[in-house]
Structure 1
Amino acid sequence: MERLQKVIAHAGVASRRKAEEMITEGKVKVNGKVVKELGTKVSSNDDVEVEGVPIVKEAPVYYLLYKPRGVISSVKDDKGRKVVTDYLPEVEERIFPVGRLDYDTSGVLLLTNDGEFANLLMHPKHEIDKVYIAKTKGIPTDDQLKKMKKGMTVEGEKMKAVHVKIMSTEHKKGTAIVQVILHEGKNRQVRKMFDALGVPVDKLKRERYGSITLHGMNAGDHRPLKPHEVKQLRQQAEENVK
């Protein structure tokens, strides 16, 4: 027997917190009856519906996608633009991205149907390293990099980099390649921080997520995560809780 909100999250319908809201709002049925109690437990024999749609009990799957630029980190787009799941057409399970990379950012994106796993990785207290490489229009100063590490308030939101390092510079072109490591996953965080410093980002790529890299892959490629990689990610998230 498992809690109803956990079953909904595992099915990839919503995060556990969102699932709890759906239950209390009367959007969930068990065996044809609306259930609003958060403590409700269900078994694999129970039929669960969310907003009239039956939950399909799927085995958990985990994928790595090298997300290209110009793709939406979603399972559908009302404007008809390309979405990340378009790159995994053979996957029958109802997968969704773990967090997001913005439209113009490429790199490591994990996809799964395991809501609990996704929530574990995305919570900032679990301190999973997200390593980005940014090409900037302008060369950041040491003081600007220190601001990023110390923490900045951008558009009313506190943002902080765990580590920032200039990898190379082209003084004639006035550009730099900068490595940025985050634990947070706020919307367009790297771009917003550099914009606030007056050093806009030209190109951005996420090179690593925890222990997962793009080794041997090209943009648009995908592969299943190996069991030991899934285990490593879980361990990294659980070990880092303060």
Structure 2
Amino acid sequence: MAADRSGRGGSGGRGAGAGRTGGRPPRRRSAFTPPRQVRLRDGEGKPVVPDAEPNGEPTEAHRTDGERLQKVLAGAGFGSRRACEALISGGRVRVDGEIVQEQGVRVDPAAQVIHVDGRRLQLDESKLTLVLNKPRAVVSAMSDPEGRRDLSEFTAAHSQRLYHVGRLDYETEGLLLLTNDGELAHRLTHPSFEVDKTYVCRFDAPGGPPRGLVKVLREGVELDDGPARADRARVLAQDGREAVVEVTLHEGRNRIVRRMFASQGFELTALMRTRIGPVVLGDLPTGTTRELTGRELGTLMAEVGL
């Protein structure tokens, strides 16, 4: 099969030219690809269009006993204090929903909500969110009465009590989020926020997949619990025996990807989730975890109205 397990090889794929770098090691793929535009949402999942310009009214964000805003931004990784002052004067920082442009404003990072360019700063150090590359034959639960391999082995190294966000079925591998942030977990799984998820699907396809398969997936198929439609779908690889198709959808019904292919007569032999919203699995080894970067987490929180 031309593609590897993650579907990144194959004819025309990036992996095909990995050996033509003149002896140089291939560039490491980023584990984060930001969306073209941060999709701000309110608490009910409805889109929010931020003000294009500050309204010029005095801010109520100032807390006399707080920390200077530019110091908080610098500590969160937004550069030097001078660079953070430029962010503030440029109207790119919001505190509790209000644009702050005054220098020297003091804030309480434990109690106030701060956004930069629409991305939320997570300043609560007690909160932890991880990406897990879940292996096959692992149940998406912290314990299993049948004694099968579960998620507890991947959280044992952390003192926080972590929970999985959504599920991957027993035979499906790939990206699963683990967090102790209950509000983030709730919003990521709530259908009103429509967070995109991308899957790489492998199946037997003697002679290649039918030309109309991708179109059918995009237009929608009928399942026993209602219609289902892929937001995007494309063929990644095929060799006359097997095919690899990537699909993106925002629904989270049980085994929905497998059932969509089954409705067209194809049983998936492998299924991997590679993306949730702006968070990408990248080259994270199977069975390992990593903590979300501040930029990933901020964009993810902004997409679900936090």
TM-score w.r.t. the length of structure 2 is 0.56
Secondary structure of the residue that 1:178 maps to in structure 2? strand
The alignment status of 1:227 with 2:294, answered yes or no, reads yes
User: Does structure 2 conserve the Cα–Cα contact (< 8 Å) formed by 1:140 and 1:199?
Assistant: no
Counterpart for residue 67 of structure 1: 134
Which of 174, 189, 194 is the matching residue for 1:127? 194
**C-alpha distance in 2, partners of 1:199/1:216?**
28
Counterpart for residue 163 of structure 1: 232
The alignment status of 1:200 with 2:267, answered yes or no, reads yes
Secondary structure of the residue that 2:192 maps to in structure 1? helix
Counterpart for residue 217 of structure 1: 284
For 1:1-242, what aligned pairs fall within 5 Å after superposition?
59-138=126-205, 139-171=208-240, 173=241, 175-238=242-305
**C-alpha distance in 1, partners of 2:211/2:218?**
11
**C-alpha distance in 2, partners of 1:110/1:159?**
24
**C-alpha distance in 1, partners of 2:296/2:133?**
16
The structure showing larger relative contact order (alpha-carbon pairs under 8 Å, at least 6 residues apart) is 2
Secondary structure of the residue that 2:235 maps to in structure 1? strand
Q: Per-residue CA shift, 1:24-77, capped at 9, x if unaligned?
A: xxxxxxxxxxxxxxxxxxxxxxxxxxxxxxxxxx93221111111110111111
**C-alpha distance in 1, partners of 2:294/2:140?**
24
**C-alpha distance in 1, partners of 2:287/2:225?**
35
Q: Percent identity?
A: 35
**C-alpha distance in 2, partners of 1:111/1:194?**
28
User: Does structure 1 conserve the Cα–Cα contact (< 8 Å) formed by 2:274 and 2:282?
Assistant: no
Give the 3 Å change call, closer, same or farther, for CA 141–237 of structure 1 in structure 2.
Answer: farther
Q: Bigger CA drift: 85-94 or 183-192?
A: 85-94
User: Does structure 2 conserve the Cα–Cα contact (< 8 Å) formed by 1:85 and 1:96?
Assistant: no
Q: Per-residue CA shift, 1:187-237, capped at 9, x if unaligned?
A: 111111101100111101111111212223110010121222211101223
Structure (1/2) with the larger strand percentage: 1
Secondary structure of the residue that 1:60 maps to in structure 2? coil
One-letter amino acid of the structure 2 residue matched with residue 80 of structure 1: G
**C-alpha distance in 2, partners of 1:112/1:200?**
32
One-letter amino acid of the structure 2 residue matched with residue 157 of structure 1: G
Deviation at residue 126 of structure 1 after TM alignment: 1.7
User: Does structure 1 conserve the Cα–Cα contact (< 8 Å) formed by 2:163 and 2:180?
Assistant: yes
Counterpart for residue 59 of structure 2: none
Structure (1/2) with the larger helix percentage: 1
Highest CA radius of gyration, 1 or 2? 2
**C-alpha distance in 1, partners of 2:197/2:152?**
21
**C-alpha distance in 2, partners of 1:194/1:160?**
11
Deviation at residue 127 of structure 1 after TM alignment: 2.4
Gaps of 5+ in 1: 1-57
Q: How many aligned residue pairs are there? A: 180
Deviation at residue 86 of structure 1 after TM alignment: 1.3
Give the 3 Å change call, closer, same or farther, for CA 82–123 of structure 1 in structure 2.
Answer: same
Q: Per-residue CA shift, 1:135-169, capped at 9, x if unaligned?
A: 11224323332222122221233222111111111
**C-alpha distance in 1, partners of 2:283/2:220?**
34
**C-alpha distance in 2, partners of 1:121/1:91?**
22
One-letter amino acid of the structure 2 residue matched with residue 100 of structure 1: R
TM-score w.r.t. the length of structure 1 is 0.70
Secondary structure of the residue that 1:168 maps to in structure 2? strand
Q: Bigger CA drift: 192-201 or 90-99?
A: 90-99
Deviation at residue 115 of structure 1 after TM alignment: 1.7
Gaps of 5+ in 2: 1-124
| Root-mean-square deviation (Å) | 1.8
